Amino acid sequence: MTAPDSAALISRVKATGAPVVLFGAGDVGKIAWWALTSQGVEVTCFSDGRAEKHGTSWSGVEIRSPEQLAALSRDAHVFICANYLFSMPKTLGDMGFTNIHHAADLLDGVDFTGADIGMDPVFIERKVALHVRETHKAREERENSLVLKYLDVVVTEACSMKCQDCSNLMQYYTKPRHSDLDLLGDAVDRIVDSIDRIYEFRVLGGEPFVNPKAHRVINQLTAYPTVEKVVIYTNATIVPKGEMLEALRNPKIVVDITNYGQHSRKLEPLREVLTDNGIDHLVKIPEWTDSGRINFVERDAAVLDDMFANCCVNDILTLLNGKLYRCPFSANGTNLGAMPITDAEVVDLTGPLSGLELRERIRALYSRRTHLTACEYCNGRDYRTPKIDPAIQTRRPLPLVSVT
């Protein structure tokens, strides 16, 4: 079923008979393709900035480079389905296109029941909602509000697996600890009091279910009226029970399960328990990039800024041990003492910081457009970073050179 605003937009597109372009050939683009084609709108092409996609196709629709769009009539309808929400409208406008739409306006409120595009329905719902929130964020930033898309809440440094290439750097912890839940709870309270809304808290570690008191955090996060979703990331090695299972029954909860094959030894029992208790969950097969090493490489500032701009986690804030960081690599690398950090790259909530001062510190960190010190120690985390086999296990923690 199509939402009223979406139906009106589709009617406008049909009435013109102009070409239809989906800018972004990722998950949101594919979902937008279904939303349009299911209502009888033919998609002319996708467009994508990733060179390896140029000349390929998805579901019979060609994927073109942005430069190839110049061959289309300027009345074409272009739907922005990628995270270029600040720059792309201007770029397309400079090219002469007049019908530029955000995919959020097409997808918001649409019922995707029966969408046969190879994605779990829970995944589609989350993906659409997150894209809608990101679009709203771009619009609201012009109105001085402060809305966060993701905030990672780390409840433990411990993990039930020992992956040598973990991009969150768990492989370097020799004596992993559970988070101080009093410190964590106070920090989250002050963050939520200082912002307008947050779409998704992401509870993780390590493996969050390793911490037997993680349910306290989950209950706190789901209780905030300005928070829409709380997602628990698990590797399917532990099946929650008791107070932990009860906390997961909240309708805001989604359990995001990564299937690591033989290592996810409790996958089926976990799915059974979640299904029996009516807990939303999804299972995904991981795809890893070579982003799990701490290795200083001297690079030009322009190169580092480009790495940061294209990083797949540059829209995430991470709360770890009472400090708020711009990305999980920066958070864990700093926590390990493996890399330096500047005051502008962290918000310290172990002290009394709160209110308007905290709000502006969060805004400055979240809106940052230039690279972090951590980028100098990272191999990059985007579509250009080499792919590797996930979840290769190591017997003992990797050696670490401390810089602090």
Strands (E), 212-304: 227-234, 253-258, 281-284, 288-289
Peptide bond into 17 cis (omega under 30): no
pLDDT in tens, the chain (404 residues): 556 588 889 999 999 999 999 999 999 999 999 999 999 999 999 998 777 899 999 999 999 998 899 999 999 999 999 876 666 787 788 899 999 999 999 998 888 888 999 999 889 998 998 888 878 777 666 567 888 999 999 999 999 999 999 999 999 999 999 999 999 999 999 999 999 889 999 999 999 999 999 999 999 999 998 899 999 999 999 999 999 999 999 999 999 999 999 999 999 999 999 999 999 999 999 999 999 999 999 999 999 999 999 999 988 999 999 999 999 999 999 999 999 999 999 999 999 999 889 999 999 999 999 999 999 999 999 888 999 999 999 999 999 876 65
pLDDT of the residue at 50: 79
pLDDT value at residue 49: 79
Asked if 71 and 19 touch (Cβ cutoff 8 Å), the reply is no
- Nearest to 131, CA basis, from 19, 42, 221, 23: 23
pLDDT at 140: 65
| β-sheet with 281-284: strand ranges across | 281-284, 253-258, 227-234, 197-204, 147-154, 316-320, 323-325, 346-348
Residue 169 is predicted with a pLDDT of 97
Q: What is the largest CA-CA distance in the chain?
A: 64
Q: How far is CA 404 from CA 177, 291, 339, 343, 369, in A?
A: 19, 22, 7, 15, 26
Give the domains, in start order, of the chain with CATH numbers: 4-132 (3.40.50.720), 146-388 (3.20.20.70)
Which pLDDT value is given to residue 245?
Answer: 98
CB 144 within 8 A of CB 192: no
**What are 297's two structure tokens?**
């490489």
Are the C-beta atoms of residues 30 and 41 closer than 8 Å to each other? no
pLDDT at position 404 is 54
CA 121 to each of CA 110, 275, 280, 339: distance values in angstroms, whole numbers, following the listed order: 12, 14, 10, 40
Tell me the C-alpha to C-alpha distance, in Å, between residue 369 and each of 49, 60, 264, 314.
19, 36, 37, 9
